[in-house]
Amino acid sequence: MKISNLRATQPDTPGSPADWRTQLGQIVVEVTTDDGIAGIGVGGGGAAGVHIIQTVLADLLVGRDAEDVENLHAEMFRHTSFYGRVGLVVMAISGVDLALWDLRGKSRDSSVARLLNRDVDIEKPLPTYLTVFDDAEAIAAIRGGHRAIKLHVERFGDRPDPNQIAQLVADTRASLGDDAEIMIDAFARWDLETSLAVAKAIAPYRVAWLEEPLPPEEVAGYQVLERESPTPIAGGEHEYGAASFQEIAEQRRHVVLQPDINWCGGMTTLVQIYQIAAQHNLRVCPHRGCEPFALPAIAALDSQPLAESPRKWFKCLEGAAQICDGVIRLNDAAGFGVSVDPAVWRD
């Protein structure tokens, strides 16, 4: 099964939020083989990602054995390492890797979840969580069946008053009771002093994690924060490649890893991240885990599954599993079980 063509495109995403990187948004990737099978993946990087795939990666992969996924993944990283170890190039590689995993599943008539774990429980309902803005939305989410909620606190600014955030968390905990998990996402804009003060202020309310309080490049700050914070520190949606997650684990910057499978290097990288996490006793909670690409790994590899709600404005995939009563179940069709609206390929 030789690779005969790669193509990619950025579909329209009407209704995407203002902070979404529209010009560099998600791209659909298709890898076809000489026996007529097409694999579908999703990566990032917009037109820049499309260009990388249709030039550099196409030159590297056309004519190669599509089954050789792990070696092709390593070659894509090595081939682009002088200019693309993080960011847009790895986002593009992610989409190609996912298309290769989709091809592997389709050629063996197996879902990706079964490729990852032959004994995966396909029927198992996987708990999900939703991002909310206040405790009224939190109550609605938990009543709707979600296991957990994440509080969006960007509106409190770059140097928030820790007492204000603690009050929000206290109100939410009082509304939800003891069982629901509560998390906070800080959008990577606080400083160390603020992050530590917030982490201490919210500790009495048992927050499952404080997500991205510092910018991702603040390596030393994260090491201090994780050591001194009574609240677990999460991050990783803006990290690229397994080596980055190995460093995070060894330096103990986060205890919850949140790789985005469409950005970090695809399924091959995510499998490596699960192995790193197991060796270091860390939790993995993939970014946007309800989407069809990370969900098989959550079902097949995760001992503490919790799937984040999907990007609602990315609508060109058909067949994706849907959240129902707060839980989500795998689609067991071959590959990732999704097809792409053919309209995305039209100009």
Query: Which residues are known to be catalytic?
Result: 287
- In the chain, how many H helices and how many E strands? 12, 14
Contact partners, residue 136, CB within 8 Å, separation at least 6: none
d(C-alpha 306, C-alpha 129), whole Å: 7
Q: What angle (nearest 5°) sits at the alpha carbon of residue 283, between those of residues 281 and 288?
A: 160
> In terms of CB distance, is 185 or 302 closer to Mg ion?
185
d(C-alpha 242, C-alpha 307), whole Å: 21
Three-state secondary-structure class, residue 171: helix
In angstroms, what is the minimal distance from the CB of 228 to Mg ion?
22
In 3D, which of 47, 1, 52, 3 has the Cα closest to residue 24? 47
> In terms of CB distance, is 185 or 291 closer to Mg ion?
185
> In terms of CB distance, is 210 or 334 closer to Mg ion?
210
In angstroms, what is the minimal distance from the CB of 185 to Mg ion?
5
In angstroms, what is the minimal distance from the CB of 235 to Mg ion?
8
In 3D, which of 195, 197, 229 has the Cα closest to residue 212? 195
Residue at shortest CB range from Mg ion: 185
In angstroms, what is the minimal distance from the CB of 131 to Mg ion?
8
> In terms of CB distance, is 30 or 239 closer to Mg ion?
239
CA atoms within 13 A of residue 24's CA, in its CB half-sphere = 13
Query: Any bridge partners for residue 129, and if so which?
Result: 148, 308
In angstroms, what is the minimal distance from the CB of 336 to Mg ion?
23
DSSP assignment of 235-301 equals E-TT--SHHHHHHHHHHT--SEE---TTTTTHHHHHHHHHHHHHHHT-EE--TTTTSTTTHHHHHHH
What residues line the site for Mg ion (CB under 5 A)? Answer: 185
In 3D, which of 265, 220, 213 has the Cα closest to residue 244? 265
CA atoms within 13 A of residue 338's CA, in its CB half-sphere = 27
131 sits in which H/E element: strand 126-132
In angstroms, what is the minimal distance from the CB of 139 to Mg ion?
22
